[in-house]
Structure 1
Amino acid sequence: MVKDINGKPYSRKLLVAVLLIGIFCAVLNQTLLFTAQPTLMHVFHIGASTVQWLSTIYPLVVGVLMPITAWMADNINTKTLMLTAYGIFFIGTLCCTIAGSFSFLLVGRIIQAIGGGMIQGITMTVLFNIYNSEERGTITSLMGLAFGLAPAIGPTLSGWLIQISSWRLVFGVLLPFELITFLLGMVALKRVIPSRPSKLDWVSVIVSTIGFTALLYGLSLAGSVGWFASTVISFGVVGIIFVVWFCHRQTKIANPMLNLTPFKTFQYTLSLGIYAIAQMVMTGVQFLLPMYLQDIHLLTPMQSGMTLIIGALAMGLMSPISGYLINHGYGRAGIISGAGLLTVSVAVFTTISTTTSVILIALIYAVLNIGIALVSMPAQTVAINALPNSLISHGNAAMSMVRQIATSLGLSVIVSVEQTVIKAQNGHTLVDQLTGYHAAFLLSAILGAIVFVIAFRIKKPHREPITEN
């Protein structure tokens, strides 16, 4: 048994189990709708631009919530905060499950995103507070399952659920797990984050909300309407102005909502940059490959999802290995190796054709996911290990915020490159589409190469690798 900050004993294993189930559901929920969107368009008689809001609104709300989660973690009792987040997420999921109209479904999705954003922003802060720096490879293993495996299996699970039942089950399947999380949380959750009371700066809340909403919305539009569309430019400029204003204000006020001091630590900023670029590559490839399999190989959504499931399993299997490397002082070596695998595998995708074996594509994707597993979570762990405990909540909030921006940016840039190249071919033949995919994969490979090069700047840990008892 370990003790909370009040000296009361609690079961760390039970607490971690609750946190893991909660965040797995929150992250899985972000990609469950990818396969369900055509069905929802038919059910509610809406177009693609309208149904897209169900997928767009979730990361939008999550991104807006990130800056304030650091203040929440420092000022609100951990148990109260997490139970509130689980409760909101459950209510949102229930609303989506019983929705009789698209408007009600969208409202439920927003409520889901509020709860999910709180869960994502605070869970890692809790985990990094209950494990010391020598044990944080364990966090790498656990969070790798949530941030790697969950989004990878989302589209496949969604397609299967719709095939055997209805779209309501896409949301309803989460309800039992969310209820279990809430009930177990009432027992397992303890106050494990030291209280650092501060007054909430409402000007920062308003400025950050406007800034990140505009920026993320502009990025979400860029992939479909182009980077030079007036709406993208307008929202982008407004977003950047308000985000810069928010960041400047945090450096000037006595009690910042989000402390930006972690960015003064080079190893934190470097590792966070590596993680952000890896997220861009992962998001772009996860979006492109199902489209490639359906457009070029004419697979069904279900078939394309099943083709890529081996990659999800590979990522899940690699998460414990990533944790082992971190715990034994080899995180830097793992990140460099993973960046190399990431770069090579995506580069191979630039050579695929209409006759490339689907099995070969699945194997290449598995190698890519192994690389992602060796880079993403270890990079986060290295970043947090570079900070003092007092800055962990703010470092995690900044990391979650950067993840949302990197996800939106990566998807928009990579998709816009694909679409631009296809249009430049003056046709929509399979060859034209394939050329667009090759260009997008080439950009992803270049980003992977950047990760590989800068990963060598990560410092080796000063401590000796720990030994097994």
Structure 2
Amino acid sequence: MKKGMRVTLFIVLFGSFFGVLSSTMMTTALPSVMRVFHVSYSSAQWLTNGYMLANALMIPTSAYLMKKFSFKNLFLTFSIIFFVGSLIGATADRYLILIAGRMIQAIGAGVMIPLVNVIAMRAADKKHRGAVMGIIGVVFNFSPIVGPTVSGVILDSLSWRYLFSLTIPFTLLSIILAIIIMPKIKHETELTFNVKGLVTASFGLLSLLWGFSNIGEYDFPSFNILGLLIIGVLFAWLFIRSQAGSKNPFINLNVFQHVQFNVASILNMILMVTMYGNTIFLPILVQNVMHKSALISGLVLLPGAMVTFFMSPISGKLFDKYPVKNLVMIGITIDCIGTFLQILINHNTSILTITLGQTIRQFGLVLVLIPIQTQALTFLPADLLPDGVAMYNTLRQVAASFGTALLIAVITISNQHENVGTITGELVGIKLGFGVCLLLLMTCFIFIRKLYTTKSVVAETAETE
């Protein structure tokens, strides 16, 4: 790896860490925010789901931006946007302003996430891509898991506003480092931005997420659910139709012509639903049902976060040595075992038992995430790499956002049918949520068999594709 790319990768990784960290730091704070602003679960989840949705909209935009502008200019511009969002969130005195700060944060972080992947895939040779992507996984897989723990430590003695303030000095440092030492790698591609694609994708995703978020609070035939879902599907159809014949698509849909990219993306989406759902369920369980502090709810996630930190680089190296099919099979099996333990929780379950289930889940998850991401991108031609990275990460964020909205709906519906608003209703809803996660994980075994299992098959298929 050349020195310039190595320096660029380090700075962008450092800046991106806090962007991804912010995506889940608010999960531990949801009970506090609900009390301060007097909002429901469905409204409070926009602090996390809204963030991921804005991320999802910016990630495909990055495919165009990375072909048009230098990595340095992109990183500086969107780091500043993230910085502004953090300031707004830290000083917000109304809930809508707080949501606006989160959205602006997400816009800034949304470009940095795929930027890291593209730099890593271009800089690493094929023999070491797994190892390099393992290091990248420390940012993308460790930071969202450790986010609730960091949040819990802060909330134990400080206000939720400090969750925004924490990122400000580190974002400033990354901006200064980029200005001083990041090389400017030029791009000379002349492109036209597909505004129609951005508009249709934005309205489609927003309407769908809004509709999913309202499940449990409104009757299904109402406009707030069914109407919004129909509008979302309509815009999604318009998006696909407009992109299919475009010379400059918002996202190049040709990435879906590669089977391994499709299979890995489906697996990734399923895992994101279960991973982000877990980071929301556990704080609600520990704080609202067990009446423990935000610090305790954060510490429950800490061992799993540390497993992710140490295993991400190892997981990447395992991809370089062993069949991806075997790694994914083992990882999903372990994840299922941990999820089954979580289904068994009740009012008398100890914090240690809850922590054990989460740690087992995270160990299985980290064995899968890096290999399937590397598998997805390895099979794409170089000219499709920015589009592949953008689409893969967009699907990741969309799945996390929509999935957690549906899982929160499970708790909301459970509260309505089990002594409205009581601990019993919340506990039943959480157990049902874990059950949904287990069912989703079990569907992964259907797709695992489609992964190529040997390096020789990989090479032959790459040539045919």
**Pair in the same fold by TM > 0.5:** yes
Do residues 158 (structure 1) and 151 (structure 2) align? yes
Q: Name 1:60's counterpart in structure 2.
A: 53
Give the counterpart letter for 2:385 in structure 1: I
Contact 2:131 2:314 in 1 (8 A): no
Query: How many angstroms does 1:464 deviate by?
Result: 10
Give the counterpart letter for 2:443 in structure 1: I
Q: Name 2:134's counterpart in structure 1.
A: 141
Give the counterpart letter for 2:102 in structure 1: R
Do residues 113 (structure 1) and 106 (structure 2) align? yes
Do residues 47 (structure 1) and 60 (structure 2) align? no
Q: Name 2:298's counterpart in structure 1.
A: 305
Q: Name 1:6's counterpart in structure 2.
A: none
Q: Name 1:204's counterpart in structure 2.
A: 197
CA-to-partner distance for each residue in 1:88-129, whole Å, 9 max, x for gaps? 112222333344555544443332121111212332222222
Do residues 321 (structure 1) and 307 (structure 2) align? no
Query: How many angstroms does 1:320 deviate by?
Result: 1.5
Contact 2:29 2:294 in 1 (8 A): no
Query: How many angstroms does 1:405 deviate by?
Result: 1.7
Q: Name 2:17's counterpart in structure 1.
A: 24
> Structure 2 length as normaliser, TM-score?
0.89
Q: Name 1:35's counterpart in structure 2.
A: 28
Give the counterpart letter for 1:91 in structure 2: V
Query: How many angstroms does 1:30 deviate by?
Result: 1.4
Query: How many angstroms does 1:433 deviate by?
Result: 4.5
Do residues 341 (structure 1) and 329 (structure 2) align? no
Contact 1:329 1:464 in 2 (8 A): no
Query: How many angstroms does 1:428 deviate by?
Result: 6.7
> CA RMSD of the aligned region, Å?
2.7
**What is the alpha-carbon distance in structure 2 between the residues aligned to residue 115 and residue 312 of structure 1?**
24
Contact 1:251 1:260 in 2 (8 A): yes
Q: Name 2:70's counterpart in structure 1.
A: 77
Contact 2:27 2:283 in 1 (8 A): no
Give the counterpart letter for 2:29 in structure 1: A
Q: Name 1:176's counterpart in structure 2.
A: 169
Contact 1:223 1:411 in 2 (8 A): no
Contact 1:62 1:113 in 2 (8 A): yes
Contact 1:315 1:366 in 2 (8 A): no
Contact 2:304 2:362 in 1 (8 A): yes
Which residue of 258, 265, 270 corresponds with 2:263? Answer: 270
Contact 1:279 1:376 in 2 (8 A): no
Give the counterpart letter for 1:84 in structure 2: T
Give the counterpart letter for 1:411 in structure 2: T
Query: How many angstroms does 1:209 deviate by?
Result: 2.2
Q: Name 2:160's counterpart in structure 1.
A: 167
CA-to-partner distance for each residue in 1:197-236, whole Å, 9 max, x for gaps? 3212222222222222222333333365575553122222
Contact 2:156 2:293 in 1 (8 A): no
Structure 2 vs 1, CA of residues 391 and 193 (structure 1 numbering), >3 Å: closer, same or farther? Answer: farther
Helix, strand or coil: the match of 1:32? Answer: helix
Query: How many angstroms does 1:463 deviate by?
Result: 5.2
4+ aligned runs moved over 6 Å, structure 1: none
Q: Name 1:5's counterpart in structure 2.
A: none
Instruction: Give the 5 Å matches for 1:445-456.
Output: 445-456=438-449
Q: Name 1:233's counterpart in structure 2.
A: 226
Q: Between Structure 1 and Structure 2, how many residues are aligned?
A: 457
Give the counterpart letter for 1:186 in structure 2: I
Query: Which stretch has the larger CA shift, 411-420 or 150-159?
Result: 411-420
Do residues 356 (structure 1) and 349 (structure 2) align? yes
**What is the alpha-carbon distance in structure 1 between the residues aligned to residue 100 and residue 349 of structure 2?**
43
CA-to-partner distance for each residue in 1:72-101, whole Å, 9 max, x for gaps? 111122221121111211222233334455
**What is the alpha-carbon distance in structure 1 between the residues aligned to residue 30 and residue 240 of structure 2?**
36
Contact 1:60 1:217 in 2 (8 A): no
**What is the alpha-carbon distance in structure 1 between the residues aligned to residue 420 and residue 98 of structure 2?**
37
**What is the alpha-carbon distance in structure 1 between the residues aligned to residue 95 and residue 413 of structure 2?**
32
CA-to-partner distance for each residue in 1:250-276, whole Å, 9 max, x for gaps? 111122121000111111100110111
Structure 2 vs 1, CA of residues 33 and 418 (structure 1 numbering), >3 Å: closer, same or farther? Answer: closer
Instruction: Give the 5 Å matches for 1:260-299.
Output: 260-299=253-292
Instruction: Give the 5 Å matches for 1:95-106.
Output: 95-99=88-92, 102=95, 104-106=97-99
**What is the alpha-carbon distance in structure 2 between the residues aligned to residue 80 and residue 223 of structure 1?**
44
Query: How many angstroms does 1:430 deviate by?
Result: 5.5
Do residues 397 (structure 1) and 386 (structure 2) align? no
Which residue of 234, 240, 247 corresponds with 2:240? Answer: 247
Do residues 259 (structure 1) and 242 (structure 2) align? no
Query: Which stretch has the larger CA shift, 290-299 or 174-183?
Result: 290-299
Unaligned runs of 5+ residues in structure 1 are 3-9
Q: Name 2:215's counterpart in structure 1.
A: 222
Q: Name 1:369's counterpart in structure 2.
A: 362
**What is the alpha-carbon distance in structure 1 between the residues aligned to residue 390 and residue 154 of structure 2?**
33
Instruction: Give the 5 Å matches for 1:84-99.
Output: 84-99=77-92
Identity of aligned residues (%): 27
> Structure 1 length as normaliser, TM-score?
0.89
**What is the alpha-carbon distance in structure 2 between the residues aligned to residue 431 and residue 98 of structure 1?**
36
Give the counterpart letter for 1:408 in structure 2: S
**What is the alpha-carbon distance in structure 1 between the residues aligned to residue 60 and residue 35 of structure 2?**
37
Query: How many angstroms does 1:348 deviate by?
Result: 2.3
